[in-house]
Every structure is written in C-alpha cells, then in structure tokens.
Chain A
C-alpha cells in the first residue's frame, strides 16, 4: 500500500465483529520491517 511506503509493513489482523452497533478495538498495530520481492519479467523466446 502506498501509504505505508518506506514505513514498514503491517501484518494482517483477523477479527470478528459481534453485532451491529458494537466496536472491536484492535489496539496498537506495530509496523515492522517488511520483505521485498524483486524479479524480472521477460518474454518467453
């Protein structure tokens, strides 16, 4: 995501809401160093 560029990465958080008009507080989500994928796209000869 662009808004996290250069600031690390957030791990996905899985939560379940319990009903209408309720709130789930995830607390603090820590941005950690992410991983970088790199490669090269080439046409098959």
Chain B
C-alpha cells in the first residue's frame, strides 16, 4: 500500500439516485458540493441530501481516475482514496494511414449504482501518430 498523499482536486459533484429501466444508478445533479480546495486537499460539503453520493473528478495531479463516495456523516472528516485507474489505448487509421486530430470518447456501459461514474469519462484529441490514450476508474 503506497503512503497516503494529499491531493488538490478541482470539483466534487453531488449525485442522487435515479431509476433507469431495471438498474439503480446515480445521476449528477450538476451541483458542485465544493470547489476545493485548500492547500491540504480539504473540502467541505454543506447540507448534502441524506444518502447523497459524490463524484470526485479532475484532480490537478491528472493521474487519478474519478471516483464515487458516499456515507458522509455530518461533522465527520474522512479521507477519499483515489486510484490511478486503467488505461485504454489504440490507434485510429484510415486506409492504413494514421489519422490525427480525432477526439476519442470513453463511455461507460455499466450503469449500476456502485460503478456508474458519468456518461462521458474523458476525451482526448489525438495529436500525433494517431495514438490515443484515455483512463477510467476500474471499480469503486
């Protein structure tokens, strides 16, 4: 287990439950619970709905995958552990020639409540050699 290191993150979204067909999944309300962040990575969420879950994404370090967390109790401070996530790579070609300047989207198919992270996880423009890389969190 690597040593715990505090990170500065950019935003935390508040999510709520929603029923979609037979699955229970989480939908972002679009509200930010907190624009973090102080020097030590601390954040504060004011009056979240009971049972709310939160999505933490966009760490400044840029090497961590987004994650969901819940069970936030009033007056309690807890640490959120982030993981590096996994990476998807590939190459876009046409007639055998690499294409550049293409934007790739990684879309999560699994909508289960415990793993849903949002519709669009990350896109990145391919700039050279048509090689792309994108990352996501494997599990919550």
Contacts and interface: CB of A to CB of B under 8 A. Distances in A.
A21 B94 contact: no
Interface of A: 1-4, 7-8, 10, 13-15, 17-31
Contacts of A22: 86-87, 138
A25 B86 contact: no
Contacts of B90: 13, 25-29
The bracket for how many chain B residues form the interface is: 20 to 34
Given A25-B90, A29-B93, 5 more contacts: A7-B94, A18-B86, A19-B86, A20-B137, A28-B91
A30 to B, nearest CB: 6
Interface of A: prevailing SS: loop
A7 to B, nearest CB: 6
